Amino acid sequence: MSLSYFLIQTLNGVQYGFLLFLVASGLTLVFGIMGVINLAHGAFYMVGAYLAWWFAEQTGSFVLALLLSLPVTVLLGLATERFAIRYLYARDHLYQVLFTYGLILILNELQRLLFGNDVHGLPIPAPLAGSIPLTEAQSYPIYRIFLSFTCIAVAAALYLLIQRTRLGMVIRAGSTHREMVSALGFDIARLFMVVFGLGVALAAFAGMIAAPVNTVYPGMGDHILIISFVVVVIGGIGSIKGAFVGAMVVGIADTFGRVLLPTGAGVVVYAVMALVLLWRPQGLFGRTV
Amino acid sequence: MPHHPRIALALLALGAVFLAVFPLWGDTFYIRFIARIMIFALFAMSLDLLVGYAGLVSLGHAAFFGLAVYVVAGLVNKAGVTSAFVLLPAALGAAAIAAAAIGWISIRTTGVYFIMITLALAQMVYYFFHDQKEWGGTDGMNIDSKPTVMLGDLKLFDFYDRVQFYYLALGCLVAAFVLLTVILRSPFGHTLVGIRANEGRMRALGYDVQRYKLIAFVIAGTLAGLAGFLEAARATFATPAHLGWHESGHVLMIVILGGMGTLFGPILGAFVMLLMEDYFATLTERWLLIMGVFVILVVMLLPDGIAGVLRRVGRLGRRGAGDG
């Protein structure tokens, strides 16, 4: 393996890791704060990608497509919480699993009904379409670098929102002392609705910005969901920091797994997860199990 | 110690008689279809031991079912072995070993961790078979032959005969029901239910909680393997979908629809679920949409499943009798 090839693969792994972090942070946020396990998280990723593709087809502009699809997915998330998830907080995780499983069936079928079974490509917006040459033969696409920086920006914004704002403070308090926050006069129901909407938006946004590199296809949410679970389990459920480390571990392990072990590529990340769990059953940054 | 409401017992007895005599006049299509339903009932019942009794919500149960399918497929297609005397122990053994390995890692955790980890580890088995190109990859592969049961030159059982196969599936279902009833009435079963109710107390009483959970996990995985063996013999087809998490979610839904924590619930659930799927599939190509809505309605309105409804009906009946 030449150095530049190694470098490109590392960049690819890190970029995939950033994208996984974006998806997994939404999953871990919703679980850590609301105690809800959301299997439909991957389906929302798919919804985001399909909306971005469809709006881009209609308007001819990727940026406009992002601006139009983001509010739609946020509304979808808020509505899901308001009309369904809200009634499942007190129930066993089992019912949250099954409810969101039903939601996946519905979203997957609606996608096929509305957009068909074809794979769709989304052109990379013109200013970001080039690549940076590394050697005479190899180069690295600018869009992938843009993708990484967008993920970093969103992660930073998320960190500031949770750690530095008043809303974030109330959210953090609500995750551990729900009744007390409610007794102090905060509308905890609305707060949780916002958190769920934020979680859905993170998944959908990841789907949107990844669409130009990963294409848009039926069932695309399933794979990302399982991989996000692996990320969250490695990092520790409910920990944003853990999601970041887990995403990097999985992104790099998966990328190099594909290069070094082509026939067993799918298994590599799960083997890494199993090893981490044998060592720390609660994940790298998890609190108690 | 499954506690069966009287109305459920009556229904169960009636159902057993119906199933026993059905092939005498039943349409061939339905003989085949009910054999398939009984295989899924067995599969769901094995999961109910974990979800309903041990309190372990596994979202990776299809791994053991699908692994058994692939073991049969591999031995028949690659090694030319067709004897059920080899295939059955191999399928059950593989499922048991996989359950021991996956169980060993996942029972260290509880709750939502357990759900995610069983799901992820099962997906590892899924991708293993998914990535094997010579095993058909995503498309799966046909199994060249059904199992054979020969004693010398004497054919003892014919897997190709749909009525014989029907009774085999029924026999396995009844045997699993009896086995699980015996297990749950034994001290082992009582301990398991105790662990679900209050794990800390059971540990304080000196029970090796992890060992009980692991044994339950292996029993459930092995029974899922039996269902997988039957499915391989029935469908003569192996695909990664047999192992995937959609199948795990599907069988979990069957358990909840029927009513968890009752061994007859998964049987009822399998009949209702598969008959509904079959019916909706004749109406529209997008029948999964209807099933999705149905799943959500059951979760919201019938958390105790059909068994819960029967229990309520039974209670009403008793109250009515008491008043009179």
Say how far apart CA B88 and CA B146 lie, in whole Å: 12
Q: Which residues contact B154 (CB under 8 A, 6 or more apart)?
A: none
The pair of structure tokens assigned to A206 is 């990841």
pLDDT (tens digit, 9 = 90+) per residue, B241-299? 999 989 999 999 999 999 998 888 999 999 999 999 999 999 888 889 999 999 999 99
pLDDT score of B67 more than 90 = yes
Q: Determine the straight-line distance between the first and last CA of chain B, rounded to whole angstroms.
A: 32
SS3 state at B243:
coil
Residue bearing tokens 């007895």? B13
Is residue B111 within 8 A of residue B236, CB to CB? The reply is no
B6-318: CATH topology: ABC transporter involved in vitamin B12 uptake, BtuC (1.10.3470)
Q: Is A31 on the interface with B (CB under 8 A)?
A: yes
Query: Side chain identity at A76, as an amino acid letter?
Result: L
pLDDT value, residue A1:
65
| B interface residues, A as partner, C-beta within 8 Å | 51, 57, 59, 105, 108-113, 115-117, 119-121, 123-124, 127-128, 130-133, 245-246, 249, 252-253, 256, 286, 288-289, 291-296, 298-300, 303
SS3 state at B215:
helix
State the alpha helices, DSSP H only, in chain B.
6-25, 28-48, 62-79, 84-106, 111-130, 162-185, 187-197, 199-204, 209-235, 245-258, 264-283, 287-301, 305-323
CB contact under 8 A, B299 and A282: no
Q: How many CA atoms lie within 13 A of B187 on its CB side?
A: 1
pLDDT tier for residue B5 given thresholds of 50, 70 and 90: low
Instruction: Give me chain B's average pLDDT, please.
Output: 90
CB atoms closer than 10 angstroms to residue A231: 31
CB contact under 8 A, A106 and B292: yes
CB contact under 8 A, B116 and A232: yes
Q: What is chain A's pLDDT, residue by residue, as a tens digit (289 residues)?
A: 677 788 888 888 999 999 999 999 999 888 888 888 899 999 999 999 999 999 999 998 888 999 999 999 999 999 999 999 989 988 888 999 999 999 999 999 999 999 988 888 888 887 888 888 777 777 788 888 888 899 999 988 988 988 899 988 888 888 888 888 888 888 888 888 999 999 999 999 999 999 988 889 998 998 899 899 999 989 988 888 899 999 999 999 999 888 888 777 778 888 888 888 888 888 888 775 4
Whole-angstrom Cα Rg for chain A? 19
* CB-nearest partner of A102 from B108, B115, B296: B296
Is residue B143 within 8 A of residue B76, CB to CB? The reply is yes
Q: Is A219 on the interface with B (CB under 8 A)?
A: no
Q: Is the ipTM of this complex over 0.90?
A: no
SS3 state at B148:
strand
* CB-nearest partner of B295 from A87, A101, A233: A101
**The pairing of beta strand B154-158 with beta strand B237-238:** unpaired
pLDDT (tens digit, 9 = 90+) per residue, B164-202? 999 999 999 999 999 999 999 999 999 999 998 898 899
Q: Chain A residues with CB inside 8 Å of B299's CB?
A: 88, 95, 98-99, 102
* Domains of chain B by residue range: 6-318
Nearest residue of B to residue A87, measured between CA atoms: B300
B45-58 mean pLDDT = 94
Q: Is A30 on the interface with B (CB under 8 A)?
A: no
Q: Which residues contact A12 (CB under 8 A, 6 or more apart)?
A: A144, A255
In DSSP notation, A97-147 reads HHHHHHHHHHHHHHHHHHH-S--B--PPPGGG--EEESSSS-EEEHHHHHH
Q: Is A104 on the interface with B (CB under 8 A)?
A: yes
Say how far apart CA B269 and CA B260 lie, in whole Å: 10
CB contact under 8 A, B299 and A95: yes
Give B149's strand partners: B157
Say how far apart CA A238 and CA A24 lie, in whole Å: 10
pTM of the model: 0.90
Q: Is A210 on the interface with B (CB under 8 A)?
A: no
Nearest residue of B to residue A236, measured between CA atoms: B113
Q: Is A288 on the interface with B (CB under 8 A)?
A: no
pLDDT value, residue B211:
94
Best residue in A41, A87, A97, A237 for a mutation probing chain B (most B CBs within 10 Å): A97
Q: DSSP state, B198?
A: -
Q: Chain A residues with CB inside 8 Å of B116's CB?
A: 37, 229, 232-233, 237
Q: Is A260 on the interface with B (CB under 8 A)?
A: no
Q: Which helix (H) or strand (E) holds B261?
A: none
B8-33 mean pLDDT = 87
pLDDT tier for residue B1 given thresholds of 50, 70 and 90: very low
pLDDT tier for residue B320 given thresholds of 50, 70 and 90: low
Crossing angle for the helix pair A166-176 and A142-164, to the nearest 10 degrees: 70
Longest dimension (CA), chain A: 65
Is residue B262 within 8 A of residue B44, CB to CB? The reply is no
CA angle B23, B26, B28 (to 5 degrees): 90
pLDDT value, residue A35:
85
pLDDT score of B324 more than 50 = no
* CB-nearest partner of A270 from B115, B124, B286: B124
* Domains of chain A by residue range: 3-220
CB contact under 8 A, A226 and B256: no
Say how far apart CA A258 and CA A250 lie, in whole Å: 12
pLDDT value, residue B323:
45
From the CA of B82, how many Å to the nearest CA of chain A? 28
CB contact under 8 A, B105 and A278: yes
The helix/strand count (H/E) of chain A reads as 11, 2
Q: Which helix (H) or strand (E) holds A76?
A: helix A62-83
Say how far apart CA B238 and CA B140 lie, in whole Å: 5
Question: Which of the two residues, B128 and B93, has the higher pLDDT score?
Answer: B93
